[in-house]
Amino acid sequence: MNLNFSDIKVLLIGDFMIDHYIIGASTRMSPEAPVPVVIPEKDYSTPGGAGNVAINLKLMGADVTCVGCVGNDIWGKKLLSILKNEGIKTEGIELINDHPTTLKQRIYSDGKQVARLDTEKIINWEIDEDGGDIVENYDIIILSDYNKGVLHNPELFLTLISSNQLSDENRLKNIIVDPKKDDFNHYHGVNIITPNLDELQKATKMKIDDNQSIIKACKKLIEEYCIEYVVAKKGDKGITIVGEHNFVKHIKPHIVKNPDVTGAGDTVISALSLAYAKTEDIELSAKIANAAAAIVVGKSGTATATIEEIESLLSN
């Protein structure tokens, strides 16, 4: 399979954050508490949240424009620097004074994560009323919602988007959402939404314990919120797609030993979005996303999948 997404223009709106890794070793326990004393040996930072989606999209060849906000601090500036160095357009990311950039610091000792320190503060961010980049035409628009405040009012974005993103049937087109809110009414009318099973259960208030209950819950979202496709992420059990007109497909998982699921959802929405923008084939797009996720969970930390890796796995 030959995947080429270099002609795909993406607008990414969401919660941008940064992941910082401290890697070390421990030879003793602390006398103060039953925890290891970790001696740092190296550290590094990678974009997280919507930032990780942006990196995934760029590595897959897309033209990426970002909209959101970060703190006007060392971490926010570091995040923007990383994104710019990758060729990602960041003019739509606002630096906010007196607001911390969302930061997740993971401490590893002897190859195992022993602690995570999070710095965050929810912000009710508002974009300029003229919409800026949002009123331009894009092949695909992604809302990467981590519930940190950029998408506290997604209806505003959908209203701005609708001026240029209407299909012949007068509905929103090529809008894909990775949700975090329990109330999916915020995402009314989008094309594709990609909840995991926990998010699906909370949104529908239904018990999810097998494929039939997944299908029933997805159909409820489609009927209530005018969503074209629900792509339910089932972790190590693969993906289920449910669409209008009783469309149902199950995508089998790729077996991965000792998976690290950090950032897997970001990879799924990135690959799914680009493949759908290219092919408008939801089943094929989900298969590509499923393969990309398998590659990422086989790596440690916030990782990405390249086109070459995805093509190789799909060809096996």
Clarify whether 266 is annotated catalytic: yes
Check: CB of residue 295 under 8 Å from CB of residue 309. yes
Nearest to 306 by CA among 82, 140, 1, 57: 57
d(C-alpha 270, C-alpha 256), whole Å: 20
The sign of the dihedral angle between the CA atoms of 44, 151, 70, 8 is positive
Beta bridge partner(s), residue 142: 12, 176
Exactly one of 19, 145, 178, 266 is catalytic; which is it?
A: 266
Evaluate whether 45 touches 19 at the Cβ level (below 8 Å).
yes
Question: By three-state DSSP, how is residue 177 classified?
Answer: strand
Helix (H) or strand (E) segment spanning residue 161: helix 154-162
The number of beta carbons lying within 10 Å of the beta carbon of residue 169 is: 6
Contact 207, 217 (CB under 8 A): no
Q: In whole angstroms, what is the distance from residue 219 CA to residue 229 CA? A: 9
| CA-to-CA separations, 71 to 45, 52, 107, 144, 285, in angstroms, rounded | 16, 17, 23, 18, 35
Catalytic residue list: 266
